[in-house]
Amino acid sequence: MDRLSSTRVLPGRSDDITQLGMVWEQVKAPVIVPLLRIAVFLCLTMSVMLFVEKVYMATVILAVKLLRRRPGTRYKWEPMEDDVERGSAAYPMVLVQIPMFNEKEVYQLSIGAACGLSWPSDRLIIQVLDDSTDPAIKEMVQIECRRWASKGVNIRYEIRDNRVGYKAGALKMGMKHRYVKDCDYVVIFDADFQPDPDFLCRTIPFLIHNPQIGLVQGRWRFVNADECLMTRMQEMSLDYHFAIEQEVGSSTYAFFGFNGTAGVWRIAAINEAGGWKDRTTVEDMDLAVRASLKGWKFIFLNDLGVKSELPSTFKAFRHQQHRWSCGPANLFRKMVVEISKNKKVSLWTKVYVIYSFFFIRKIVGHIVTFIFYCLVIPATVFVPEVEIPMWGLVYLPSAITMLNSVGTPRSLHLLVFWVLFENVMSLHRTKATLSGLLDLGRVNEWVVTEKLGDIMKTKMPTKAAKKPRIRIGDRLHKMELFTGAYLFLCACYDLKYGKNHYFLYLFLQSITFFIVGFGYVGTYIPQS
């Protein structure tokens, strides 16, 4: 930046540039350099904390694999068998809840899959909780429910007068119906989830034979992972979440965050925990934490996959990530004291929930990614007095990245693209996390993730179809463009004056921000 004063400029502006350079020199040493050094120290500290957490989880997974500590070896499990004397009464009553909101493209998939579950029909209740605001869609869902009812399926179509509490409110209202009192367990599937017929036969036995178990969670499998590069990036992140994070929580402290779908709850655990609450946008995690504080244990079944759909438009993905980042931070703010004062769980469990589960994974992991790699490192280009050690700049991030990649081996060749894209998304995650921690802005905003189903097949234009008009403003994302411009400026300055070759990374990252900023990511649905 000091070189700006010596750059050739128009005579009329030379004095202004000289004064600007003098001000920069006066402010840089006493203010900018110390603040930037503090920022580097804090970011390196958070990076080390994140690295230690990743190594810890990798060690646990390795031990689980070597010792073969599968759920079936740690908990009693026996297959469901028909009882000649008792008949279907040998099977517990199970409620299947399918919350939905204007799910025109996928409602038939989830309802059909739920109605196809292998379980005695008189011991199974399918409950479709329709909060749709489109009358046409409500009519289609109701017709689908009637169609299955005519086949002998015990399916109930339930609606509300309002959307208070969003998903949590719908699930809570669904539990108040009189017929639910006869049920022992409740299964939840979002509208795009398609369980295999044996889902209940593989999960319910864990709950029957282990009274301390409150939740059995299945893993998500993605039917559209190969739709575009953005869905492949999501698959990499979510595969790590399930294969590593959920498995670690299940294998060590029998605690992890309920994923909101593809899980079976013991209704007694839900009731003891206080039922569904809508105080945050992560009602599933809220319930899981409260249930764990009551002493209930959870099981994650990594080999029980349930087909689902990834958001393939950037708008839908961005809204989802805001909810998934803001909600946990806000829940942490509201529950950290309650967790620390709890008497029913061990000290180590409380440390795990507060430090590992919330602080490192839900807060530090988001903030350090954006602050360090998109703000602090680029800023040091203008302040060469501040140096970042090679271990914190290259070795530690590389190790963390490699540990993150173990969940999806088939996408190792996309690792560089994944890192750059995750840095872009960290902008929104950091903003959402800070909003949740401070309880500000869109902290309780709930936007249902858009599902496309087969919409792209039905909207494929024919030769005679008129090409839809695309408005530039619909695809522009200002925050990404501004951040990309900042990184590009830093890269250009480093290319001309720098000695650390940061520009190699900065140009790539700025280009990625520009690609996202101009809307060239994900599936684009033209408006007809």
Instruction: Enumerate the active-site residues.
Output: 131, 284
Strand residue runs (E) in 123-167: 124-130, 155-159
Contacts of 296 (CB under 8 A, 6+ apart): 212, 213, 214, 215, 266, 269, 272, 273
**H or E segment at 155?**
strand 155-159
Burial of 478 (0-12, 13-18, 19+ CB in 10 A): exposed
| Residues 289, 240: Cα–Cα separation, whole Å | 21
Return the residue matching tokens 């350079």.
21
Which of these, 393, 154, 171, lies nearest to 275 by C-alpha position? 171
| Residues 392, 68: Cα–Cα separation, whole Å | 35
**Single-letter residue type at 58:** A
For residue 524, the cross-strand partners are: none
- DSSP 8-state symbol, 124: E
DSSP3 helix / strand / coil % (the chain, rounded to 5):
60, 10, 30
Q: Helices 415-438 and 478-497, interaxial angle, to 10°? A: 120
Do the beta carbons of residue 292 and residue 269 sit within 8 Å?
no
**H or E segment at 265?**
strand 263-266
| Residues 377, 502: Cα–Cα separation, whole Å | 8
Q: Cα dihedral angle (270, 275, 279, 281), rounded to 10 degrees?
A: 50
Q: Beta strands 263-266 and 185-188: pairing type? A: antiparallel
Q: How far is CA 527 from the centre of its chain?
A: 28
Q: How many helices (H) and strands (E) are present in the chain, helices listed first?
A: 22, 7
What does the angle CA 8 – CA 10 – CA 11 come to, to the nearest 5 degrees?
105
Burial of 67 (0-12, 13-18, 19+ CB in 10 A): exposed
CA distances from 139 to 104, 115, 143 (A): 11, 19, 6
Cβ neighbours around 151 below 10 Å, total = 9
